Structure 1
Amino acid sequence: MTLFRKLFFVGVFSVAVPVYAQTDTLRLSRQECVAIALNESQTLKVADMEIKKADYSKKEVLANLFPAIDFTGAYQRAIELQSMNMSMGGMSQTIKMGTDNNWNLGFSASMPLINASLWKSIGLSDTQILQSLESARASRLDLVNNVNKAYYALLLAIDSRKVIRQNYDLAKLNAEIYERQYKAGTASEYDMLRSQVQVTNVEPELLQADIAVRQCQLQLAVLMGIETRATLMPTVGLSDMQQEMYGYYLGDNRSLSDNTSLRSLDINRKLAQQNVTLQKMAWVPTLAATFNINWNAMSNDNPIKNQHFNPYSNVGLALQIPIFHGGAKYQKLRQAQVQVKQLDLQRETLVNSLNMQVDLALDNINRQVNQISSSEEGMKSAEKAREIMQKSFEIGAATYLNLRDSEMALTSAQLSYYQAIYNYLVSTSELDTLLGREEALGIQNN
């Protein structure tokens, strides 16, 4: 089944008939799980929306470079006109001033010609877009790392269930042998009952193993952003992954340049440095062009009829020179400079911490490789010892206790072997995430 068909299956699965959904099994490789998660994850969709928000924010800043045009309209109705008394020829006369109706309509436009702060804000918006992009990249890295670990956990749960199932089958086989021997009179009832008890003791472990597998399947489905009604199954086992693990190579390429935390901190420092420049631009004079065109009309009685609008217009320049603001601009500048120094110190601490984490991760990986080799040898020895003890038990040359000890030793060796492979795979995924190695994690850059 191609990846396209599997993605199509995921898309239509939610509308499938529930009766059949219970039995559907979707077999996926780790790479296919990663691809589906990157395509369906709601977390990544939210991160992509943050990028769009940052882009719209930049366009908002760019819009301030264009002329701003506004229309205004005002109407005023006089209730009582202002009056003035004048003495003329010894007689007092009252004169009313103004009109009953006053209309004022007009357009105003302004455009910045020199505005250094606005120009610098555009560069600040570009850096904010980079910040959103890096945040989305960090979300992708975390998601893929979690999908990888969930996939490996599913492999471990399935292989562990196989080991417990094998132990259960052996316990049942031994119980059947004891039952036959008891009926033949060659074994005691106590030995038969003890072997049957061993079977019932393993049954809860088998049930817990089934629950663990289902939990891992649900966790993986949730991380992939798909319906949880399907039964997700891997295409490989942990022993198959062992063949690929020796292909993991880091070499001398332990650069932290792609670490998402470090890159985010560098972007924040760039923003802080741009903020310093922006605060300095607050002392630069601004110049804007203005234009106004208005119409006014004045009349008495009816406010609608017989209105005569008379136009008037003007154009001008508005110059603003900052002189003194109580030192507020200077204090803002000092705050921005302190923030840059803080980020420099934080970066130094972060680099030291990341280098330590890389050293520890590499040390753990090397130890886990040795652990896998020793666990594999121990498992082979335990398997051989169990076979010898099984044959000895069947011919009566070994006790049931000896046989059960060999079976428990084999079970423990197998579980340790699979656990060692799981630990190695998780450690490599964590290290790739730490170093930001998108290609190693299976993230395809468009």
Structure 2
Amino acid sequence: MKRRLIAFILMVASSAGAGLRAQDVPATLSLSVDEAVEYALDNNRSVASARYELLASEKGVWEAMAAGLPSIDATASLSYNLAIMTRIIDFGGTPTPFKFGTEYDAAIGVSASAVVFNAPWLVGVQTAKMATTLARQGLTQTTLDTKENVRNVYFLILTLMESMKVVDANLENLNAILESTKAMYSVGMAEATDVDQMQSTVTMLENSRSSMLRSMEVNHNMLRFLLGVPASTEISLTDDLDMITEQIDVEALLSDEFRIEDNISYQLTESQLAMSELALRSAKASTLPSLAGSIYYNRNGMGDELMHMQYFPYSAVAIQLQIPIFASGLRSAKINKAKINLDKSLNTKSMVSEQLLMQERQLRYNLLNANEQFKSQKANIEIAGRVLESFENKFNQGMASSLDLTQANNNYLTAQNNYIQALMNLLQTKVAFDKLMNKL
């Protein structure tokens, strides 16, 4: 009964804890793009894993140091001999049995040891510290990747919402024209093909709208994942595209100087190169002698009665010197392997440097081109809108066919689609450029 009560209390406590955790995330989140980034950095699973990796590596530094620092251990043992060893000894021709030992044996001891000199241990401490640097840079890399992904998904949802507004307005207009065409057909002022043409255009646009809704939901789910919130959380985006694009100053961006040493990818290759150098030093250090010291103090007890044993002390100081002499080429192979890995790291660093410099030049070109395309497509929308409005008036006056109107409407939608794509390309290119410049 008592166990059941405890189990019930634990179950209630667990349920209450889960309820509190669920309440930590509101049902609806209203976020600007910067707020979304900050929220993701606090709750994203990948960022959290990178933080744990950093914490573990920091503990690993002390672990490596403690392996060579003084350590003290205490031991205690008690034995009861069920059958004491007996031997026969011949005394003057008379074999006599003698027991060697006592019924009880006890031992109490304290020992201390420390590394006096051990080159691999010294290099190992440096390697552990460099591993912490790598983990910290890994956290920075994960943070930048998360920022990039959140911004790109946020912008993609905004562009889909903008496209949805265009499609909805276009559908409302086309449905009105469709009803007008049906009315004109009923009095003989339009042909059946005009009605069919308009109906087909409306249907195709409705299908496009449904596809956009599904795409928007997929991207909302991706944003939820990046933010680390449940799938049931509603997310409201408070920024708008006009405000975001107005803040983009391409000339100012292009005037920034690229400092390759500030780039996280370059920093990672430098740290990996340092790790390769430490691996070579560790391999060479394995050929050096090592020296360790220890001290022991023990008290051994013996007797046939547990409470009346006799104790005898024992203590010693020891120094252990180990000199590597021959290992069938093992140490030489490790050194040669470490040298090859060092050359590989040097080559990787050079390759990454060249890639980053090439990426910088390409992104500058892409940014300039994306800005020009954006301005061009924005102007094309205004032209396509005026043309569509003109054909709508002509169609209502009977001066243009439904085919002409459909073509003008398709041209307008194409212009809108090109504009949205140019806008998204500009935003994504800016995000990539900011990430490269370490200004994301």
Question: Which runs of no fewer than 5 residues in structure 2 stay unpaired?
Answer: 1-18
CA contact (8 A) 1:47 1:139 kept: yes
Pair 1:278 & 2:305 matched: no
1:431 matches 2:433 = yes
User: Match of 2:96?
Assistant: 94
Task: String of CA shifts for 1:339-387, please: whole Å, max 9, x gaps.
Answer: 1111111222222222222222222222212211221221111111112
Counterpart residue number, 1:3:
none
Distance (Å, rounded) in 2 between the aligned partners of 1:12 and 1:220: 23
Instruction: Give, as a single letter, the amino acid of the residue that structure 1 aligns with 2:348.
Output: Q
TM-score, length of structure 1 as denominator length: 0.86
Distance 2:377 2:176 in 1: 26
2:410 to 408, 411, 421: 408
Q: Of the candidates 33, 39, 62, which is equivalent to residue 42 of structure 2? A: 39
Q: Which piece of structure 1 moves more, 228-237 or 114-123?
A: 228-237
Q: Does the 8 A contact of 1:28 with 1:235 survive in 2? A: yes
The CA deviation string for residues 73-127 of structure 1, in whole angstroms up to 9 with x for no partner, is 4436273534353453xx3443626223333332222112222322222111110
Give the drift of 1:315: 2.2
Q: Is contact 1:70-1:107 (8 Å) kept?
A: yes
Q: Matched residue of 1:343: which SS?
A: helix
Please state whether the residue corresponding to 1:309 is helix, strand or coil: strand
Aligned twin of 1:130: 133
Contact 2:102 2:302 in 1 (8 A): yes
The residue number in structure 1 matching 2:323 is 321
Kindly provide the CA deviation profile for residues 198-243 of structure 1, in whole angstroms up to 9, marking residues without a partner as x: 3233221122222222222221121111233233233333344332
1:332: how far off?
1.6
Instruction: Give the residue type in structure 2 aligned to 1:223.
Output: L
Matched-pair contact (CA < 8 Å) for 2:33–2:239: no
Deviation at 1:47, TM superposition (A): 0.7
Are 2:279 and 1:258 equivalent residues in the alignment?
no
Which piece of structure 1 moves more, 290-299 or 34-43?
290-299
Cα 1:81/1:399, change in 2 over 3 Å: closer
Which among 59, 63, 70 is matched to residue 73 of structure 2? 70
> How high is the sequence identity, in percent, across the aligned residues?
23
CA distance in 2, matches of 1:199, 1:99: 104
- One-letter amino acid of the structure 2 residue matched with residue 259 of structure 1: N
Q: CA deviation at 1:154?
A: 0.3
Deviation at 1:327, TM superposition (A): 3.2
2:400 aligns to what? Answer: 398
CA distance in 1, matches of 2:25, 2:310: 75
Question: Which residue pairs with 2:5 in the alignment?
Answer: none
Quote how far apart the aligned CAs of 1:272 are. Answer: 1.3
Structure 1 contact 157–216 (Cα < 8 Å) conserved: no
Q: After superposition, give the CA deviation of every residue in 1:112-164 in whole Å (9 maximum; x if it has no partner).
A: 22223222221111101001111111111111111111011101211111222
Count matched residues. 419
Q: Say if 2:47 and 2:139, in contact at 8 Å, map to a contact too.
A: yes
Q: Give, in angstroms, the shift of residue 264 of structure 1.
A: 1.6
Contact 1:265/1:343, CA 8 A, preserved across alignment: yes
Among 105, 117, 122, the alignment partner of 1:114 is 117
Off by >4 Å, runs of 4+ in structure 1? 11-14
Q: Contact (CA 8 Å) 1:141, 1:436: kept in 2 or not?
A: no
Q: Specify the SS of the correspondent of 1:245.
A: coil
Matched, 1:147 2:150: yes
2:295 equivalent to 1:291: yes
Counterpart of 1:15 in structure 2 is 23
| Aligned mates of 2:21, 2:107 — CA distance in 1 | 65
The CA deviation at 1:284 is 3.0
Over 3 Å counting, the alpha-carbon distance change for 1:130 and 1:182 in structure 2 is same
Matching residue within 198, 210, 220 for 2:201: 198
Could you say which residue in structure 1 is the equivalent of 2:253?
249
- What is the identity, as a one-letter code, of the residue corresponding to 1:56? K
Verify the 8 A CA contact 2:160 2:212 in the aligned structure 1. Answer: yes
Does the 8 Å contact 1:289/1:318 carry over to 2?
yes
- Relative to structure 1, is the Cα distance of residues 106 and 203 closer, same or farther in structure 2, using a 3 angstrom cutoff? same
Structure 1 distance, partners of 2:179, 2:427, is 40
Partner Cα distance (1:17, 1:325) in 2: 60
Task: Give unmatched runs, 5+ long, in structure 1.
Answer: 1-10, 442-446
Partners of 2:220 and 2:182 in 1: how far apart?
A: 39
Could you tell which deviates more after superposition, 392-401 or 95-104? 95-104
AA matched with 2:353: V
Residue identity opposite 1:49 in structure 2: Y
Shift of 1:266: 1.3
Offset, 1:184: 4.0
Residues 84 and 101 in structure 2, CA contact (< 8 A), matched pair in contact too: no
1:263-296 alpha-carbon deviations (Å, 9 max, x no partner): 2221111011112222222233322221111111
Partner residue in 1 for 2:215: 212
- The answer to whether the Cα contact below 8 Å between 2:259 and 2:437 also exists between their aligned partners in 1 is no
1:405 deviation in Å? Answer: 1.5
CA distance in 1, matches of 2:233, 2:108: 67
Q: Does structure 1 residue 157 correspond to structure 2 residue 165?
A: no
Distance 2:21 2:371 in 1: 40
SS at match of 1:326: coil
Report if the CA contact (8 A) 2:291-2:322 is conserved: yes
Preserved CA contact (<8 Å) 1:37 1:223: yes
SS in 2 for 1:66: coil
SS at 1:344 equivalent: helix
